[in-house]
Amino acid sequence: MSDTNDTSDDVINKKKTNKDNIWSNIISFLTSLIVIFIVILLYFASGSLILFLCKLAQSNILPTDNNCFPYTDNLPNIKEIQTNIFPTIVDNKEMSMKLQIPYDDKNKKNILLDILNKYKNKPSSFFLANYFISIIESLIQFDYSSINVVLNILNGMPEPIIIGFGPFISSFLFSFGVLINGLYFIYLWFSNMYWFFKTNTNKSNEGKPIWEDVTLITPINLFLAICLIIIFTIIFFVGFPIISFIPFCVLFYTIFSSLFYKGIFNGNSINAFSLISSVLKYYKITFVNIISIFVVLLSFSKLGKISGIVSLFLISLIYWRILCADIFNPITETNLSPIVSYEQAKKICIPEKKYLEKHGFLYNLLFSQKGGNISRELKNLHKQLS
C-alpha cells in the first residue's frame, strides 16, 4: 500500500510541477515580449528624433553664426525650403510628403542664448560674467554648427537607413562630441581670459556697455587681472572634475533644445516628439514585421516547438490576409508631391560693423597681437604721465 501511495504522490507532484513550469514559461514569454516591444518602440522613437534633426539641419535655422541673432541683434536671412519625408514610388515617380521648418518667431527663440545676449547688452554688464558667457556661447555655437553639418550629411542617406541606423550613428557621434567639447572647453577657458583685462566704463545705466582695456594707467585693475589669471588657472586644474560637466551640459542643452523646433507637416504644427507617431504610422509594416519575428522566436524558446509552430502559422495566416486583421496592411500616404532637393537652405548673415579694439600693454603681451603695440603703449604711458 505504501508503494502505491508513493507512486500516486509522485504523479501528483509531477503534474503540479508541469503546471508550474507552464505558467512560469508563459509569464517569462509575456515579460520578454513586453520588454522587447518597449525596446523596439524606443528605438523607433529615437530614429524618429534623428530624422527630425536631419530635416532641421537641412532647413539651416539653427543658431550657428555668432555674428547673428541670438548671439547678436543682427537677424540672418534664411531661405525657406521644404524637406522630403516618407518618400515612396508612385507610378515610377519618386514622391514624398513634405516637412517645413521655417525661421519664424517661434523658432527664433532660444531661452539660454536670449538671456545671455540680454545680459551682454546691459549697461551694467560685468567683465567676469562676460568671461563665462563667452565660453558658453562659443560652446553652444560650436555644438549647433556640429549638429547642422553632421546631420545634414546624414540627411542625404536613404530615410530607412536614418531611422534604422541613426540611433547607432548618433550614439557614436555623441560620444565623440563629448570628447571634442571637453577639449574645446579647455581652449576657451584660457583663450577668453582677455576679458580680465576689460572694464565697463558706462556709468549712465543707459545704452550698451562700453568696454575699454586695462592698461598701465590703472595698475590696480591690471594687478587684479593678473591675479584672476592665476586664480582661474588654479581653479581649472584643481576643480576640473567639476567644471568638466559644463561642456557636457552645453552639448546636452543644444541637442535637447533642437528637438523643440516647430515644423509644419500636413498643415499641422509638429516637433520631433510629435513626429514619432507619424513614423510609427508610415513605417508600421517594418515595426510589425520585427515584432512578429520576436514573437515566433520567443514562442520557440520559451513555450516550446509546438507553440512556436502555432504562432508562426497564425502570423502567416494574418500576413496572407486569411484571418481578418489589418496589422500588415500599409498606411496610404497622402499629400504626396514630387521629390525636392536635399540641398541645405542658404543662410546669409552680414556681420555688424564693430569698432577696432585697442588693447592694453599686458593684453598684447599675453595674447600676442600685432607687433609694435608694446612700444606704442609705453610711449602713450610716458605722454600721459608727463
Q: Any idea what the Cα angle at residue 52 is, between residues 328 and 101, rounded to 5°?
A: 120
Spatial separation of the C-alpha atoms in residues 171 and 180, rounded to whole Å: 14
Give me the tens of pLDDT residue by residue for the chain, a chain 386 residues long.
Answer: 455 555 555 555 555 555 657 788 889 899 999 999 999 999 999 999 999 999 999 999 999 998 999 998 889 999 999 999 999 989 889 999 999 999 999 999 999 999 999 999 999 999 999 999 999 999 999 999 999 999 999 999 999 999 999 999 889 989 999 999 999 999 999 999 999 999 999 888 888 999 998 888 888 889 999 999 999 999 999 999 999 999 999 999 999 999 999 999 988 999 999 999 999 999 999 999 999 999 999 999 888 898 889 999 988 888 887 877 778 788 888 889 999 999 999 999 877 665 444 454 444 545 544 434 444 444 454 454 44
Grid cell at residue 331: 498606411
Same domain, 367 and 312: no
Same domain, 160 and 256: yes
Same domain, 152 and 75: yes
Same domain, 150 and 279: yes
Minimal CA–CA distance to 139: which of 66, 212, 76? 66
Minimal CA–CA distance to 78: which of 382, 354, 347, 279? 347
Spatial separation of the C-alpha atoms in residues 246 and 357, rounded to whole Å: 29
Question: Burial level of 14, CB count in 10 A (0-12/13-18/19+)?
Answer: exposed
Same domain, 72 and 186: yes
Same domain, 367 and 284: no
Same domain, 384 and 236: no
**C-alpha gyration radius of the chain:** 31
SS3 22: helix
Same domain, 316 and 373: no
Same domain, 172 and 298: yes
The residue range of the domain holding 383 is 357-386
Per-residue model confidence (pLDDT) at position 355: 43
Neighbouring C-beta atoms of residue 37, cutoff 10 Å: 15
- Compute the Cα dihedral for 90, 269, 274, 80 and give only its sign: positive
Same domain, 369 and 320: no
Grid cell at residue 50: 534623428
Per-residue model confidence (pLDDT) at position 369: 43
Minimal CA–CA distance to 63: which of 142, 135, 118, 178? 142
Same domain, 339 and 367: no
Domain count, the chain: 2
pTM of the model: 0.85
Spatial separation of the C-alpha atoms in residues 98 and 275, rounded to whole Å: 12
In the block, residue with C-alpha cell 542617406: 157
Same domain, 299 and 366: no
Minimal CA–CA distance to 99: which of 285, 329, 278? 278
